[in-house]
Chain A
């Protein structure tokens, strides 16, 4: 079972990177306008302009 010594910390590290990504998205204001974000994804303004 020695493999656990590597595997468990690696799993934790992966989880931590997910947490870090969430905290980054929170800090960069991606949750300020959740309803707007749901609608903006449907817009095709990148084609028109």
Chain B
């Protein structure tokens, strides 16, 4: 790329004359990358600092004076990393601040619980031996001194959430937590004042500590998915040639475009914005937008959508909508409706919480009443009731789900699946029907040479290397086969015809059959596979015809079989023509498929499945899939999907393979069963502990043991969600060149 990309919109200038740029970097997979990148950038002039954050794959660059930001991106490309400017979104900064706050609360609660436990253990052992009541009071007062400010600070996450819920006249898990904490604290202070033997300061603070652990893990999980989503968005940030007033094109990120700007779209480029054709004419491939693989002619006055591929002519577009969310009104309307439907899903933990709070409060009230009714003092009754409240405080319950989520999302991460939504795991586990889109989902997003095995390897390599010099999209497919990525010197592209170069004195040509003198051969080949596109290649007297078409993902057949073996009903719902869908469905062994479906058709079909009581996982990548993705119970997209589609997907998977889908379902099912086991454990714990507390046997010592014991059990159980998915895909198999499925070779 000789052109300079204008990245100035992303650069933040500081008052001290330094400039700052954040980049999301692709391809970081080992420790050496840190040194590679930071060291490699050191020799750039005027660079002050470059620091890579290995956890979220972001690079912060700081420089003095004027350094062309594109030079940094170029330097990184030379080092072998793709980098894209990154704009931290407001919501992500908010999450980071919240995570820091939670960690602060956690640290304070941890400090307090350790110190109060130190004092409490002394009191317990002293109570068994010969502690003087002055020493005990001193220890209790010290405990109160530590516990009161701790609860006031570290309890805020729960207090705020509880108040928020009560204002909306609802209850959540934080309401019983808040009531429990405050009551136990007040009671402990009263007991301290009256020189009692037992106080519950240690229980209160330990409870707070465990609850904050769960809360922090939950937050960490959500933050990680946010960060991944943010990186994905910027890795996909597209560029466009903007025409200034003088008609000079500058390469800018689409984020810098405004409606009314004019952009130039060259042959072979993907259109990055919605726009109206001002001048020029070309064929447009809208497969990413509509799923339709046949090309459409575009002339002045036509409206084109972002994601379309421009084939052979140069177009000038007037931007109608720029940046994110560029789409037809209809699709957006459908999206809104579908998204509203999905938000009705209630998470497992919330459902438990909803049932839990009233039970706890009724049990507490009953305890107090029964103790008073059986003739004990109000003081004793209240103490027992508070013990019930403490023992039922859901600390194992609060850990049950988040720990599993964090562990499982780590396992998914290793299987190349990124979650976009926090509750996706639960929904994924319940899936029984899979609906695939065809173009770009079951098939690879780019075209591939379908008959590569039928061509002499040296000839194919030469054709592929020559194809590197062409801008034509079909040539890009041929270029994919090249092992030597160095273009031939002196290759000349003849627009609309092909490319030619001379190698060792022999002329080689790649392009239309007429250009290469291979008309007869191409007719013979085309007769066997009328759906594919052709490029001819000539080397001296030798001729070859390359069949270019969309190929199935390399492991599509195997993965679909495996999914079916797991009892999942696989279906295809495509926007493409029936003739294109039928052979793929046959190859994959998918009996139920539907072609030529509009976005509205897809939603209708999904609604029909849902009405039959199915839980549907929709896998799709086109803009036409976005509404369907939003209306399905759960959705996944390949990383190559259109922006808007990806934003709707609950999970995104990377790589050429479909296997991540299989892994994701397996991990999610495992995680879900572990979550239920954990909730069960918490329930069993309560069934044992509550009667004990009710009968007045729960001293602070018992409460401490029960709470830490049940929490540890739940955490250990959650660690089993790591699973065997990380061993399933050795790196070596991923590097295999993608073979095409046999049935699609067109032979």
A residues in contact (CB < 8 Å) with B: 1, 4, 8, 11-12, 15-16, 18-19, 22-23, 26, 31-36, 39-40, 42-43, 45
By beta carbon, the residue of chain A nearest B111 is A19
Q: Which listed residue (B34, B132, B146) contacts A39, Cβ 8 A? A: B34
A36 to B135, CA, bound (A): 48
A26 with B111: CB separation less than 8 A: no
By beta carbon, the residue of chain A nearest B96 is A32
Q: Which listed residue (A4, A16, A40) contacts B138, Cβ 8 A? A: A4
29 chain-A/chain-B pairs, Cβ below 8 angstroms: A1-B132, A1-B135, A4-B135, A8-B119, A11-B115, A11-B118, A12-B115, A12-B142, A12-B146, A15-B114, A15-B115, A19-B107, A19-B108, A23-B107, A26-B100, A26-B107, A31-B103, A32-B53, A32-B55, A33-B53, A33-B54, A33-B55, A36-B52, A36-B55, A39-B34, A40-B34, A43-B34, A43-B35, A45-B35
Given the known interface contacts A4-B135, A33-B55, A35-B55, the answer about A18 and B100 at a Cβ–Cβ threshold of 8 Å is no
> Which residues of chain B are within 8 angstroms of A43 by Cβ–Cβ distance?
31, 34-35
A29 to chain B, nearest CB (A): 10
A30 to B129, CA, bound (A): 46
Contact digits for B35-58, partner A, Cβ 8 Å, 1 yes 0 no: 100010000000000001111100
B residues in contact (CB < 8 Å) with A: 31, 34-35, 39, 52-56, 100, 103-104, 107-108, 111, 114-115, 118-119, 132, 135, 138-139, 142, 146
A32 to B496, CA, bound (A): 52
> Which residues of chain B are within 8 angstroms of A39 by Cβ–Cβ distance?
31, 34, 54
By beta carbon, the residue of chain A nearest B28 is A36
A2 to B294, CA, bound (A): 91
A12 to chain B, nearest CB (A): 6
A40 to B132, CA, bound (A): 54
A16 to chain B, nearest CB (A): 7
> Which residues of chain B are within 8 angstroms of A33 by Cβ–Cβ distance?
53-56
> Which residues of chain A are within 8 angstroms of B100 by Cβ–Cβ distance?
26
> Which residues of chain B are within 8 angstroms of A34 by Cβ–Cβ distance?
55
A23 to B53, CA, bound (A): 21
Given the known interface contacts A1-B135, A4-B138, the answer about A26 and B55 at a Cβ–Cβ threshold of 8 Å is no
B591 to chain A, nearest CB (A): 45
A32 to B146, CA, bound (A): 29
> Which residues of chain A are within 8 angstroms of B107 by Cβ–Cβ distance?
19, 22-23, 26
A34 to B146, CA, bound (A): 30
B55 with A23: CB separation less than 8 A: no
A3 to B103, CA, bound (A): 35
